[in-house]
Structure 1
Amino acid sequence: MLSRFSIHGTFKPDRIARQLIIYIILCSSVITLLGTGLQLFLDYRQDISGIKRYFDQIEQGYLRGIAQSVWVMDDTQVLLQLDAIVQGSDIVYAAIIMDGKPRWVHGQPGGRRTVVRVYPLRYVQHGREEIIGSLKVTASLDNVYSRLVRRVIVILATNGLKTFLVAAFVIILFQRLVTRHLDHMVEYLQHLQIHRPGPPLRLDRKKNSHPDELDLMVSMINSMQERSYRTYTSLRQSEERLRLFFDATEEGIVGVNQQGVCVFVNKAFVEISGTRHQEDILGKDIRDVLSCGYAGGSDKDPLQALVFRAIAEKRSYADHDCQLHRQDGSSIFISLRSYPVFSGSRCTGAVVFLADISEQVKLQQEASLLSAAVRYAPLFVVVADRKGLVEYVNPWFERVVGYESEAVVGRRLYFLAGDAENRDLYRQMRRQVLGGVSGMVFFRFEPGRVRCSRSRPWWHRSAVIMAPSTGLSTWPGM
């Protein structure tokens, strides 16, 4: 039933390391992307803030001088001031707008990604403020985005190199501390067999004063090996005892699964079924192994009515009126009992018990024939116990003596003799019967009574049959 146990399979030692690399790269990439995005957002806001601060500086440092130069129409001074404004960071265009048209211009307006600020030019004359035009300044964001792109490249390259170095270091460290020990454990488990004890598992590393997870795993594996070996040994011993019990019993025993396939048999079943070896039965359908029918000639299948019904209905069934047609051509009478087998609440099969009852059936048939012969024989038969109490009389006794069986059973036979002088003869006869002595006694028959006689033989007893175990004596009268 039990077989040798070992662990087989394909193990890829680099699988965990490969997964670890993938997870490190994914985690580092996500962190890098999130950090890079945050850094770019902060840099972008800083560049925009720098442009806005420069716009504020223009308002504070250039507007009054430009307004005076525009009031006096000093072209040279106005252009110099516009040139100074355009020299600022990311400023690409500056113009003086008068009457809705640019009067003085320096630089190009730029593309769509720009930031524009318009300042009104105010000039105070005789205490009255007049707006003489406006200053339009345009800052381009192209340089801002270019700087962001360069920063992205630098950040990604730096983080990629850092991720590679960290992953390589982690892999080397993981292989040194974990993977090589896992490989050793797998190799140990692949050659582990529970049918015999083996050397305990040990790892090639320094002893740690504080046991870690690997030490715990090694301890559990060694403990598992010991428990498995003890369990295997106990199961083998239990199996051997069970097999000896099964083989010692006179009943045939066979176990079947839900489909009726034989999974174990004992020697008695092999003999009863008429096969030669257990291997000829195991793995076969029980309906192919046993050919059964009912002794009364019924068309029902005992296997279907008892075995498969026990599995389907989850209850035991028995029948003592089956006839087995053995594979050697002979037939015997059997009693068949079937019990369901459960695994938890699920029925997994059945155990079938077969007993050869051919001798019992033969004895029952002979007893029936003998009973019929005694009942209808043309001589009277009396069966009495050791105390002389009558237990049975046949119909011929009733006919000859004239007493019904109900009037005789339970009484001593000498009540038939009314005269007291013959009772001593009956007692002497009873003592001789109990002593195993057989002989002849002559009776004289008169209506309603029987007398002992030494002269005229009407009836005589020719023999006494004594049963040693029960003490019953049989008196055939002729």
Structure 2
Amino acid sequence: MQKLLTRLQRFRTGSPLSFRLLAYILLFSSLFTLISSAAQIYSDYRKDLSQIDRRMKVIETGYTSSLARSLWALDQKLLQTQLEGILSLPDIVHLRLKIEPDSELIMGEIPRDTKTTTHTFDLNHQGDDMFTLGQLTVTADLKRVYSDMRRKVVVVLTTQFFKTFFISILIIWIFQHFVARHLSTMASYARNFSLNNLAQPLQLDRPDTSLNRSDELAQVTEAINQMRERLNDDLERQERDAEEIRKFSKAIEQSPSSVLICDRQWRIEFANQKFTQLTGYDAETIIGKHPGVLSEEAHAHRENRQLWQSIRLQVQRVGVWQGEINSVRKNGERFWEQLIVTPIKNSKGEATGYLILGEDISIRKRYEQQLLRQANYDILTGLPNRMLALDRLKLALAQARRESSLVGVMFLDLDNFKHINDTLGHDAGDNLLIEAARRISSCLRGTSTVARLGGDEFLVILPGLTGPEATSQVAERILKTFAPPYLLNGQEVFVTTSIGIAIFPNDSDNSGNLLQHADAAMYQAKHKGKSAYAHFAPEMTEVSHERLQME
């Protein structure tokens, strides 16, 4: 018994599905057997009772007339013989005959502790009149009926139990052979399934027939193998995608431009190594911050807040922002940076973040400023050159037209400069020009401009004048500054200058004509004996034309 329980427990643990199936089969089969057996036994029980009832009816129909005749003839012996015949019938155990008027005849004995059934009928004599001779009560014992019923219950239950048990065992064996063992194979395959054995398909140990290829187990097996193939394809695609992601990640990390990736709220999510090198901020310390508030300067915060507000609006409207900003490194050093800001969109076209590319253009800015200075300033003296001087003159004339003021134009030429250059050398000449530019500049106020037109020629622009006499005052100051000697190559040299003056709009309202008139006035000053200044007069134009024709 213990061994049977051990095997049953092992079966329950090893094959729980089969064990539950067996339990359900036994349970429902037993219930069905009990119901069907109970119905069958009850039917047989009713048949036995009906048989006893029919026997009672037979006694009534078969013995009524003969018993009535015996009572009428008072033939006691015959009556007793008839009663004994009735008593000898199956299941009849007791007879009670009441004889009118007050006698009684009893035969047999009613057993104790058992159920009985009785049947009573009258004994009548039919003559000219109907006479009631007596009443016979027949008692039948139901012991045999109940005994047969108990025996049938035992036999039926035992038979049905063994039949159900063996059928259940057969069903379980069939289930184990055709289903459960393959499910166990699938479970074992699933437990051992990993990324290392994707190439091994699931195979069931059963014949390869058309029925087996189309049943549910084959469908599940095919589904698992298809899942394995899809997983294998997904892994290969994932490896390719991961390689692409690694490549793009390396490209971003090793990019020569600084890269910032922000979320929808412009909070920094990623910063590459170039950004750290460029700004000095560690990526870990700026994660979650806005790119415009990295600096700790309150003034920089206000400027950056307005700048990034305009950047955000343009990116939302146009889709890109590109420009140059003056950024601040972590150590407080400022540098020029070129930024490109674009949104990062998903498959639906919605912005999920923002990409900020930056490049240090400080060197380029310095080159641009140097080129701009070279294009607009004299390299030797640092004064504005002819091009910048003409631009400032045009601006001064435009402002004078609006304000109804005067503009003075002074044309200066150093006297005997060629002689200095030839005798003392070009280095001395250059030093002379530098010192002359300094002396001229010292005589002017902040809004005035002094420019070198080339060689030893200088141009002075005096905007916002109230009267022509102001130009004379400036000219006198310049002549006084030229009075002290110049020290060239350890030798004192006296150099003077001649100044020609033209006034807008008195002499002309055109910048080109003003320069020509100032040049003509300068030649007039030279004819005066040098170290002098002269205002333009209309007749100087004719003298200038005559001199040009003579030359």
The TM-score by the shorter chain falls in which range?
Answer: 0.5 to 0.7
CA 1:400–1:152 in 2, change beyond 3 Å: closer, same or farther? same
Aligned position for 2:119: 117
Aligned position for 1:88: 89
Equivalent residues of 2:340, 2:358 under 8 A apart: yes
CA 1:80–1:218 in 2, change beyond 3 Å: closer, same or farther? same
The one-letter amino acid of 2:204's match is L
Aligned position for 1:228: 231
Aligned position for 1:446: 504
CA 1:161–1:112 in 2, change beyond 3 Å: closer, same or farther? closer
Q: Deviations over 1:416-453 (max 9, x none)?
A: xxxxxxxxxxxxxxxxxxxxxx9648765521322233
**Match runs of 1:324-473 below 5 Å:** 352-353=353-354, 355=356, 398-402=395-399, 440=454, 445-447=503-505, 448-450=509-511, 451=513, 452-453=515-516, 456=519
Q: Deviations over 1:222-257 (max 9, x none)?
A: 23222220122112212332443344346444789x
Distance in 2 between residues matched to 1:76 and 1:46, nearest whole Å:
36
Distance in 1 between residues matched to 2:453 and 2:234, nearest whole Å:
72
**Match runs of 1:254-293 below 5 Å:** 289-292=287-290
3-state DSSP of counterpart to 1:201: coil
Distance in 1 between residues matched to 2:115 and 2:210, nearest whole Å:
66
Q: Any stretches of 5+ residues in structure 1 without a counterpart?
A: 1-10, 282-286, 302-316, 368-373, 384-389, 406-437, 460-478
Aligned position for 1:244: 247
Aligned position for 1:69: 70
Larger Rg: 2
**Match runs of 1:18-37 below 5 Å:** 18-37=19-38
CA 1:59–1:121 in 2, change beyond 3 Å: closer, same or farther? same
Distance in 2 between residues matched to 1:50 and 1:76, nearest whole Å:
30
The one-letter amino acid of 2:288's match is L
Equivalent residues of 1:17, 1:171 under 8 A apart: yes
Equivalent residues of 1:251, 1:269 under 8 A apart: yes
| Alignment: residue pair count | 366
Equivalent residues of 2:344, 2:355 under 8 A apart: no
Q: Which has the higher helix share?
A: 2
The one-letter amino acid of 2:55's match is Y
The one-letter amino acid of 2:120's match is V
3-state DSSP of counterpart to 1:229: helix
Equivalent residues of 2:385, 2:453 under 8 A apart: no
Aligned position for 2:139: 138
1:58 Cα deviation from its structure 2 partner: 0.6
3-state DSSP of counterpart to 1:40: helix
Q: Deviations over 1:99-149 (max 9, x none)?
A: 697712232286795433221111123x43322222122334444233222
Aligned position for 2:431: none
Distance in 1 between residues matched to 2:398 and 2:118, nearest whole Å:
149
Q: Deviations over 1:318-377 (max 9, x none)?
A: 999xxx9999999999999998989x9xx9xx954453659599999xx9xxxxxx9xxx
3-state DSSP of counterpart to 1:204: coil
CA 1:360–1:149 in 2, change beyond 3 Å: closer, same or farther? farther
The one-letter amino acid of 1:398's match is L
1:49 Cα deviation from its structure 2 partner: 1.6
Equivalent residues of 2:100, 2:132 under 8 A apart: no
Equivalent residues of 2:87, 2:94 under 8 A apart: yes
TM-score normalised per structure 1: 0.58
Distance in 1 between residues matched to 2:171 and 2:220, nearest whole Å:
22
Distance in 2 between residues matched to 1:155 and 1:331, nearest whole Å:
105
3-state DSSP of counterpart to 1:94: strand
The one-letter amino acid of 2:395's match is E
Distance in 2 between residues matched to 1:171 and 1:188, nearest whole Å:
23
Aligned-pair identity (%): 23
